[in-house]
């Protein structure tokens, strides 16, 4: 499930950036608390980076395991022998995703809290720590935007996140690069779509073309098939990939591909 921390981030940063008040030295207890929070954020950032690296590796392993399982099932069908169950990373992936999601929520909440406790004052030069906190917040926005693309195929939402983040961190090169990539991939090109081939699995199509927007996935229960539609223009045109279960393994595989599957004004309801 996609995380919903974006509203928290934006609400917090809005408060931080528009706040005005006395610079002052502040209360010493508050300064100590801020220092403790800063140290916690740095330590947790390292922990999250490690978790996210492991998650990336596990997702690759899960894809490989799924391919191997399909092959083993095919062999079992031919030879009549049950394949030995192999250890797979699925359980660890689910566990780590839950752990990382919870830690991310806490991390981003406390990050915004520290931004609020030491807000940037309009017209004053921000401190190194304030700039570092803003960069850390932008890094989280980049991860969140990519999550919307990877899990939901929602480029529109990702672009909104990038644009809002750039309001507060306009010179961030990584934000600009992420926005440019999302904008470039929002609509499917014929060249990119040509990579799809009959016989490919859903996993393979997802790797090549990306996750189709969940609103553009159609299941035709009466026919036992599934179609993924990829917008090709702002006018409503879309390319489509149709899947049906393979007889021996029941693995969903591509049986039809069409770039001009939906034309302007035409429904993709099938």
How many independent structural domains does the chain possess?
2
Question: Residue 85: its pLDDT value, please?
Answer: 45
Structural tokens at position 89? 């990373």
Cα–Cα distance for residue pair 137/127, rounded to 1 Å: 15
- The SS3 assignment for 260 reads strand
Assess if residue 249 is contained within a domain.
yes
How many C-beta neighbours within 10 Å does residue 175 have?
A: 24
The string of pLDDT tens digits covering residues 209-253 is 999 999 999 999 998 999 999 999 999 999 999 999 998 888 899
Is 269 part of any domain?
Answer: no
Q: Are residues 92 and 54 in the same domain?
A: yes
Query: Domain boundary at 185, 220, 242, which?
Result: 185
Residues of the chain below pLDDT 50: 6-23, 78, 82-85
Q: Residue 180 falls within a domain, yes or no?
A: yes
* Sheet containing 238-245, strands listed edge to edge, beginning at the edge strand earlier in sequence: 217-220, 225-231, 238-245, 252-262
Final residue before a domain boundary, out of 185, 204, 235: 185
Domain that holds residue 234: 190-262
The dihedral built from the CA positions of residue 112, 139, 1 and 183, taken in this order, carries a sign that is positive
Whole-number pLDDT of residue 178: 98
Query: Which of 185, 210, 227 lies at the terminal end of a domain, its last residue?
Result: 185
Q: What is the pTM of this model?
A: 0.79
Question: Do residues 204 and 179 share a domain?
Answer: no
Residue 1 lies in a domain: no
> To 10 degrees, the CA torsion angle through 244, 248, 251, 254?
-40
Residues 199 and 178 in one domain: no
Same-domain check for residues 92 and 207? no
**Can you give the CATH number for the domain in which 228 is found?**
3.30.1450
Torsion of CA 152, 223, 245, 87, to 10 degrees: 50
């Amino acid at each position: 499930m996609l995380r919903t921390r974006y509203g928290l981030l934006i609400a917090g940063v809005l408060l931080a950036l528009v706040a005005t008040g006395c610079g002052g030295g502040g209360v010493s207890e508050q300064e100590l608390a801020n220092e403790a929070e800063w140290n916690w954020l740095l330590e947790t950032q390292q922990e999250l980076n490690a978790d996210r690296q492991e998650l990336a590796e596990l997702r690759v392993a899960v894809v490989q395991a799924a391919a191997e399982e399909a092959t083993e099932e095919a062999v079992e069908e031919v030879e009549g022998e049950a394949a030995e169950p192999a250890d797979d990373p699925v359980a660890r992936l689910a566990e780590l995703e839950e752990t990382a999601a919870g830690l991310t929520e806490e991390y981003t909440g406390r990050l915004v809290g520290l931004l609020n406790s030491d807000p940037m004052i309009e017209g004053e030069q921000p401190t190194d720590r304030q700039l570092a906190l803003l960069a850390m917040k932008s890094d989280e926005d980049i991860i969140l935007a990519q999550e919307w693309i990877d899990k939901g195929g929602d480029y529109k939402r990702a672009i909104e996140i990038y644009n809002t983040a750039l309001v507060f961190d306009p010179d961030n090169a990584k934000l600009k690069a992420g926005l440019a990539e999302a904008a470039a991939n929002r609509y499917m090109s014929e060249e990119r779509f040509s990579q799809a081939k009959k016989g490919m699995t859903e996993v393979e199509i997802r790797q090549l073309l990306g996750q189709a927007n969940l609103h553009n996935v159609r299941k035709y229960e009466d026919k036992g098939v599934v179609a993924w539609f990829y917008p090709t223009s702002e006018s409503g045109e879309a390319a489509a990939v149709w899947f049906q279960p393979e007889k021996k393994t029941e693995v969903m595989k591509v049986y039809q591909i069409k770039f001009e599957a939906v034309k302007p004004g035409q429904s993709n309801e099938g």
